[in-house]
Structure 1
Amino acid sequence: MVKPLLFASALLACGLAQADETAPRASVIDTDGFAEPLKELKFNPGLDQREFERSTLAALNVYDPFEAMNRRLYHFNYRFDQWVALPVVSGYRYITPEFVRSGVSNFFSNLGDVPNLLNSLLQFKGKRSMEITARLLLNTTIGVAGLWDPATRMGLPHQSEDFGQTLGFYGVPDGPYLMLPFLGPSNLRDTGGLAVDFVAENQINFLNVAEVSENHPEVVVLRAIDKRYTTKLRYGQLNSPFEYEKVRYVYTSARQLQIAE
């Protein structure tokens, strides 16, 4: 309770203070505001105070014992996105026709349906398992190894199931929140799930992709580029001093909904 009360008090104090009366600050660790989320806060007097406090405390109610490290990794991801990942994606979009990008995305999505199917079976989701099986059969055959996605047009959209969700289905708690370098928001349970899904996909070696990737690292690079290309999250896009808290809360809430469905 101490942290949420201090957080709400800081918000009120920052909003009521006049700009020209602000006390001198200590040295700034992070000039982008990630380490000092209250620095640019402006209190909205039109916001209902009870709703404000309720939403603020809910957003803070995420187990994050490694927050200092997570914030630094969040900032690292932000800079890596800005300086490396997004420029590479922009170049990829510039030199690659849209139908080629679509084919690449469909191909890797088809590979991802293998762990999706395994996790659906482990969660006893019979209907979803049959739908994912049908997707694999249609897209691998009619869709030419997954380069096209006829299954979606036939009413079988892509559905994501991972081992983190499977563990959650069996009651494994999410554990501490984690910000992974390059990969983004996660938690201890989901990070372990990522490792299991990776090993499972490589052991199954669907369409011989895992074996080919060992001798052709450009396949791994292309998959990483496609992953960033298809991921809509852009660090800094919320333009908010509380972006770290928002991303953490949205990720945690979204995972709860995915496990419950």
Structure 2
Amino acid sequence: MKTALPGAALLAVALAACASTPAAGSTDIADPYEGFNRKMYAFNNGLDKYALDPAATAYKTVTPEFARDRVGDFLSNLRGPVVFANDVLQGEAKRAGTTFARFGINTTIGVLGLWDPASEIGLERHREDFGQTLAVWGVESGPYIVMPVLGPTTPRDLLGFGVDRAIDPLTWVQLDNDSDSDLAIRAGLGIVGALNARVRLEDQINTLNAQPEPYIALRRIYSSSRQAEILNGKVDDEAAYDDLPDFDEFEDYEE
């Protein structure tokens, strides 16, 4: 059975989710547990500063950009079945077809996803998760919560995270017919993915940390980015980042 990703991997995934998606509307999320959340934000920020960032710097030094790009494409392709399942659950037939075709092309022609030829022929990648699916079904997000290691989330997205793990074929497939080897392989994928994401997001994370109130900036971009993902980017761009001055727009990043 697949275990949770290592702490550094989860932190990088959280940073990627919050720092990479185009912002939507100005609605901020309810934050009734701000005292607790600020403590967890400080903990996670320290973990990034003293553990993940130095490790990512070393990884960048020894790994050329070409290799990091291949890692990113490979890990993105592994999420194809989860994205496809959520496309179907949301009734998005066209997007489900795109995901299915992308996975088939990239797994074969792209050599197990190490390359992304599907994008070259116009089949652009997108991300879906069960938290988004619940939102499409009308489930309210609940309050903003910052979890230790996992980062910013909501009760709805926490539930979605668990369901995504359950429906991911990699959760159940035996990779080496040995539980210890399987655990090591999955942990290795998580760690490499975390380091890869942290390298790609270095400028964005530095921009976030340079804000006058980075906690509020992170909360706002988490709320707006999730809304953008739920609506598949169909948002009012003029409303983005209301009341959040001097916040540079982040570039898109896919895992």
Q: TM-score, normalised by structure 1?
A: 0.70
Unpaired runs of 5+ residues, structure 1, are 1-57
Q: In 2, distance between residues paired with 1:123 and 1:207?
A: 29
Question: In the alignment, what sits opposite 2:215?
Answer: 244
Q: In 2, distance between residues paired with 1:209 and 1:130?
A: 31
Q: TM-score, normalised by structure 2?
A: 0.72
Partner of residue 144 from structure 1, selected from 111, 116, 121: 111
Map of 1:107-256 to 2, 5 A cutoff?
Answer: 107-202=74-169, 205=172, 208=175, 213-216=182-185, 217-231=187-201, 233-234=204-205, 237-256=208-227
- Alpha carbons of structure 1 residues 134 and 204: separation in structure 2 relative to 1, 3 Å: farther
Classify the secondary structure of the residue corresponding to 2:168: helix
- Alpha carbons of structure 1 residues 204 and 78: separation in structure 2 relative to 1, 3 Å: closer
Aligned letter for 1:133?
Answer: F
- Alpha carbons of structure 1 residues 209 and 230: separation in structure 2 relative to 1, 3 Å: farther
The structural deviation recorded for 1:228 is 3.1
Map of 1:61-72 to 2, 5 A cutoff?
Answer: 61-72=28-39
- Alpha carbons of structure 1 residues 238 and 228: separation in structure 2 relative to 1, 3 Å: closer
Unpaired runs of 5+ residues, structure 2, are 1-25, 233-255
- Alpha carbons of structure 1 residues 185 and 113: separation in structure 2 relative to 1, 3 Å: same
The structural deviation recorded for 1:64 is 1.1
The structural deviation recorded for 1:162 is 0.3
Partner of residue 53 from structure 2, selected from 86, 89, 101: 86
The structural deviation recorded for 1:257 is 2.5
Q: In 2, distance between residues paired with 1:191 and 1:162?
A: 11
- Alpha carbons of structure 1 residues 247 and 237: separation in structure 2 relative to 1, 3 Å: closer
Q: In 2, distance between residues paired with 1:102 and 1:137?
A: 19
- Alpha carbons of structure 1 residues 207 and 121: separation in structure 2 relative to 1, 3 Å: farther
Q: In 1, distance between residues paired with 2:227 and 2:189?
A: 33
Q: In 2, distance between residues paired with 1:227 and 1:197?
A: 20
> Which of these two proteins has the greater Rg computed from alpha carbons?
1
The structural deviation recorded for 1:221 is 2.4
Q: In 2, distance between residues paired with 1:196 and 1:203?
A: 13
The structural deviation recorded for 1:238 is 4.5
Partner of residue 257 from structure 1, selected from 223, 228, 247: 228
The structural deviation recorded for 1:240 is 2.9
The structural deviation recorded for 1:207 is 9.4
Identity, % of aligned pairs?
36
Considering only aligned residues, what root-mean-square deviation do their CA atoms show, in Å? 2.5
Aligned letter for 2:49?
Answer: Q
Question: In the alignment, what sits opposite 1:51?
Answer: none
Q: Are the aligned partners of 2:208 and 2:218 in contact in 1 as well (CA < 8 Å)?
A: no
- Alpha carbons of structure 1 residues 161 and 203: separation in structure 2 relative to 1, 3 Å: same
Q: Are the aligned partners of 1:111 and 1:206 in contact in 2 as well (CA < 8 Å)?
A: no
Classify the secondary structure of the residue corresponding to 1:234: helix
The structural deviation recorded for 1:78 is 1.2
Q: Are the aligned partners of 1:213 and 1:219 in contact in 2 as well (CA < 8 Å)?
A: no
Aligned letter for 2:30?
Answer: Y
Q: In 2, distance between residues paired with 1:81 and 1:223?
A: 15
Q: Are the aligned partners of 2:129 and 2:161 in contact in 1 as well (CA < 8 Å)?
A: yes
- CA-to-aligned-CA distance 1:78-132 (integer Å, 9 cap, x gap): 1111111111111111001222111111111001121111000000001000000
Q: In 2, distance between residues paired with 1:203 and 1:139?
A: 17
Q: In 2, distance between residues paired with 1:106 and 1:207?
A: 22
- Matched length: 203
